Structure 1
Amino acid sequence: MSWPVIALIDFVTIISFENIFYPFQNQGLSVVISWIFLLFSYVIPYALISSQMSLTFDNQAGGLASWVKYSTNDTLGYWTSWMYWVQTVPYLVDVSNSVIVSFSWIILGNNSLDKKMSTFWFGILTFVIILIFILLENRLKNSLEILSLLGGGAMFIMSVLFVVMAAWAVIHGHHHIATQPFNWSSFKPSFSLNYFSTTGLLIFAMSGAELAAPYVSQMKNPKRDFPKAMWMLAIMTGFLTIFGTLALSMFFNAHTVQYDKKFKMNGPYEAFQLLGQSLGMGKSLMYIFAVVQALFMMAQLAVLLDASSRVFAGDVGDKFMPKWLTKKNKNGRPVHSYTLTVGLSLFLLLLTGTLPSIHSIYNWLLNINGIISPYKTCWVFVAFVAMRLQQEKFTSGYVFIKNKTGALIVGFWCLIFTFICATLGFIPQNVAIGTSEFNHQLWMNIITVIVLFGLGFLLPWLRKREAKKNGELDMDLNAE
């Protein structure tokens, strides 16, 4: 595989056009400064750290879990695999929600889904979509590749087109800039509690460079080309986040958009609708985007279900994982981990059923992803720091910052920054502090994190019982 292909595969599983909307709503135009700061202080180091780790552990099946396992110990490797897998569950539910929203725009042509459907049926349909995709994963041999090619490629093209066409419409007088005043003061960050508590969502939108690790073995010259792929990934991410946000400010007033509770759910479709209208194309661009979004989200479902389950069962110590959970079918897929995915998805859907509206469900799932996903990302930097502390034990085709002290400073910076942003993410977004809704969502955040991460303690215990039942007396089942 060539390095541009690796970069594109990673890009379409990390960030999409939709991912720039909730940071724009939370921070307004000041998010441009946040994106630029993160690009140079976080995204580029993150991508190049992933390059070194991928090339250091290029023959391991567990990806990030293997990085941690071989740079620290089996116990931390297990916890990485568990957190890596379980953090995809809220995202699966979120993506399934997005599939429903995209089809509602295709069918209804507007943002009236919350008036047409109850939260109960919204949850039922979300659950049905997850079940359908689990069945497709096991029935259709090439479903993952087909959906990724169609959805991922089309979404990247649509995102670039939006930026280019928005700029063209404004330059040629077809549309006036909606954000007024549009001056340097509009870009000045307001260092408030809301600003810092929403930064985890930016990390969630930009993280995932380690997903490319399994493809290292499929490259002709990974030592030379894999870092190129990571540089291309960082540049593409920077382009979409910075210029995409500027394009949004052409159509939505950055000073007032935070008051639109439905913006995160419907904003991408409304953006293409406004762009089409300004160019005299009616709703045609919106319908094209809605179809592309549906394909892209279905591709995301396929990739998430497959990749996370493989990491979970790929390289975990035998003493931690019950054998029934790692059992694979004839297609090589760990089917029982899919079953666990369904169960935890149902748990989340039951929680979301306590929220008052569809858009509040959508917003809360984004919020919880802004907590759990950055906590998972912390393990990338734990592995890097641990590896560089004992770097004489490892060899790599690429070294990020040859000076050991400099590498450790950058690694610790990324780790501490990610952990703080994830923890601040517990504060509910777009809800007034002290209200019953704020307290409700805060408790939902706490309960969700405790349940999802806490279940990781259960599997080693189940494995120990399984070993005793099967008479595996010679196995050391005590966690380190």
Structure 2
Amino acid sequence: MGDTSTNTKQFRWFTIALIAFNTVWGFNNVVNNYAQQGASVITSWIIILAVYFIPYTLMVGQLGSTFQKSGGGVSSWIDATSTRGLAYFAAWTYWVVHVPYLAQKPQNILIAISWAFTGAGTYFSHFSTAIFSILCLIVFLFFMWVASKGITTLGVIATFAGTATFVMSILFIFLAIAAPHLPNVTAATQNLTHVKTYIPNFNFSYFTTLSMLVLAVGGSEKIAPYVNKTKNPSKEFPLGMIVLAILVGVCAIAGSVGMAILFNSKAIPKDLMMNGAYSAFQRLGQYYHIGNALMITYGLTNSIGQIAALIVSIDAPLRILLSGHNDEYVPKSLMKLNKHGVFINGYKMTGILVGILIILPGLGIKNIQQLYNWLLNLNSIVMPLRYLWVFVAFMLLSKHMNKFHSDYMFVKNKTIGWLLGFWCFIFTAFVCVLGMVPKVSFSSDPHGWFLQLGLNIITPIVLIALGFIMPMIARRDKNK
């Protein structure tokens, strides 16, 4: 018989790097962070990659290699190193942080469709935020209904749209950087060859924007199952992670330079987060004399990708929460399946929470652009909370290192490993808390500033607190 290990471990370092890159990276990471920091974001990218992203991904490598039979789930890592109760809260956090994410997807879908079919992002600008929020709720409920039918053919569409959007992101870099060499085209940002253009102003306002950077580079725990499908994991996986860091760094830096060429770093449009990606492709189309072809292509592929991501994200995180825990922590009623194999009551709970988060802010925030920016910033506060459990798992693994075997070791020293996990944990928590500070001007809109601050503080507290209520309900049901 031949060596079967060579058949099951076919991934090389470059395969791992490409899979991880497609999982972690997206064009909006460039647009959103440039919108907050301008050209100085390039320095921020270098710092965040060195002190956070690289150790984060290598921790994921060791965790995935150690618990290869668990499928790479964060809650299973916690379960193996701690208790089922703590593992439940890890799973709850992974699910509940998707609530703001799901609340913004309908906005992204409507904006992408607007750009693709009207050639501008102003179609909804004359709508009140209340009406726009109702439209978003209708879109969300419709696709939640679609998801409840157990749609399984979405994978191919999602893969196609995701790949097309990814190719468009890479194409942007080449076209944008080459644009100044075209006749009658000059960079919108001056002094791009001066070092001081890229030096951030390290004030309080700067630190409130770091959560968006952490959101951009997070999520590599999704690639953990591939660690032990790699030839020689102890050597090729870390090499793949180093290549991943280089790819992310090059795309982040080159993409930010491209944005600086198209948009003046000293006069960033207020709607750049909402419309920047489409405006960028529209400008490139004008520079290269191909009209709106690039923008329409990006708008269509992005709208399909956003719809697919919405449907998948309604179902997949919920399955992780409800499939992995018994009735000791999750109420039995939430585990009810419909004829399509969907957790229908879990869907209803998702619909209620997302619906509240769609409608409530729309009644107080009076500007659609501010509403979009606020919800995006809320995502940068809430979504990284699930990364905290990766670092908790790594600290626990480091503490009990002698009990576990791993083909790949990022850190062999218990103390150093624990300290690295603690550093990433504290840094993530720090930027999430500072990210709660509203990005609107207090002097120009004090009411809106306090409203956004209140929502930024209350929302993550309520979402996490609900996780404590579920086991109480479950115990009550069990006692009955």
The residue identity in structure 2 corresponding to 1:197 is T
Question: Percent of pairs identical after alignment?
Answer: 36
Report the number of matched residues: 466
| Equivalent position of 1:103 in the other structure | 113
Aligned-pair CA distance for 1:365: 0.5
2:336 touches 2:343 (CA, 8 Å); kept in 1? yes
1:382 corresponds to which residue? 392
Task: Report the Cα distance in structure 2 between the residues aligned to 1:312 and 1:62, rounded to whole angstroms.
Answer: 14
- Answer whether contact 1:62 1:314 (CA < 8 A) is retained: no
Q: Deviations over 1:236-264 (max 9, x none)?
A: 3223221111110000011111xx32111
For the residues of structure 1 that align with 2:180 and 2:406, how far apart are their CA atoms?
48
Superposition map of 1:186-201 within 5 A:
186-201=197-212
Shift of 1:107: 2.2
| Residue 116 of structure 1, CA deviation | 3.9
Is it true that 1:45 corresponds to 2:55 in the alignment? Answer: yes
- 2:352 and 2:243 mapped to 1: Cα distance? 38
Q: Is the 8 A contact 1:47 1:230 kept in 2?
A: yes
Uncovered stretches (5+) of structure 2, i.e. residues with no partner = 1-9
Q: Indicate whether 1:281 and 2:286 are aligned.
A: no
Q: Report the Cα distance in structure 1 between the residues aligned to 2:316 and 2:198, rounded to whole angstroms.
A: 38
Partner of 1:464: 475
Aligned residue number for residue 421 of structure 1: 431
For each residue in 1:311-357, what CA deviation from the matched residue of structure 2 results, as whole angstroms up to 9, or x when unmatched? 21232354111122234456554333222211111110122212102
Matched, 1:60 2:65: no
In the alignment, structure 1 residue 267 sits paired with structure 2 residue 276: yes
Pick from 245, 254, 259 the counterpart of residue 243 of structure 1. 254
Inter-partner Cα distance in structure 2 for 1:90 and 1:436: 22
Q: 2:84 is matched with which residue?
A: 74
Measured after TM superposition, the shift of residue 466 of structure 1 is 0.7
Relative distance call for 1:13 and 1:313 in structure 2 (3 A) is farther
Post-superposition offset of 1:11: 3.8
Farther off after superposition, 299-308 or 272-281? 299-308
1:326-365 correspondence runs (5 A): 326-329=335-338, 332-353=341-362, 354-365=364-375
Distance in 2 (alpha carbons) for counterparts of 1:70 and 1:232: 30
415-424 or 426-435, which moves further after superposition?
426-435
User: What is the identity, as a one-letter code, of the residue corresponding to 1:302?
Assistant: I
Residue of 386, 391, 407 corresponding to 2:401: 391
1:138-166 per-residue CA deviation (whole Å, 9 max, x = no partner) reads 43543341233112101110010000111
Aligned residue in 2 for 1:473: none
Amino acid at match of 2:278: Y
| More off after superposition, 44-53 vs 430-439 | 430-439
Name the counterpart of 1:85. Answer: 95
SS at match of 2:384: helix
Residue 446 of structure 1 aligns with which residue? 457
Q: 1:126 to 1:2 in 2, by over 3 A?
A: farther
Query: 1:211-235 deviations in whole A, cap 9, x for unaligned?
Result: 2235668x47583665555444433
Structure 1's consecutive aligned runs of 4 or more residues displaced over 6 angstroms after TM superposition are none
CA contact (8 A) 1:216 1:222 kept: no
Tell me the equivalent position of 1:475. Answer: none
- Inter-partner Cα distance in structure 1 for 2:311 and 2:18: 17
TM-score (ref. length: structure 1): 0.91
For structure 1, which runs of at least 5 residues remain unmatched after alignment? 470-480
Equivalent residues of 2:106, 2:139 under 8 A apart = yes
Structure 1 CA distance for aligned equivalents of residues 290 and 354 of structure 2: 40
The alpha-carbon deviation at position 53 of structure 1 amounts to 1.0
State the alpha-carbon separation in 2 of the partners of residues 5 and 14 from structure 1.
14
Q: Once superposed, what is the RMSD of the aligned Cα atoms?
A: 2.3
For 1:281-319, what per-residue CA distance to the aligned partner results, in whole angstroms no more than 9, with x for missing partners?
122211111112112212322332233112212323541
Higher mean C-alpha deviation, range 138-147 or range 384-393: 138-147
- Give yes or no for the alignment of 1:411 onto 2:415: no
CA offset digits 1:28-65 (Å, max 9, x no partner): 11110110111122111111111111122222267111
Post-superposition offset of 1:88: 0.7
How far apart are residue 439 of structure 1 and its match?
0.8
**Offset of 1:201 from its aligned partner?**
1.0
Residue 302 of structure 2 is aligned to residue 299 of structure 1: no
> Which residue is equivalent to 2:156?
146
Q: Name the TM-score, length of structure 2 as normaliser.
A: 0.91
Question: Given the alignment of the two structures, is residue 175 of structure 1 paired with residue 185 of structure 2, yes or no?
Answer: yes
Q: Distance in 1 between matches of 2:121 and 2:151?
A: 36
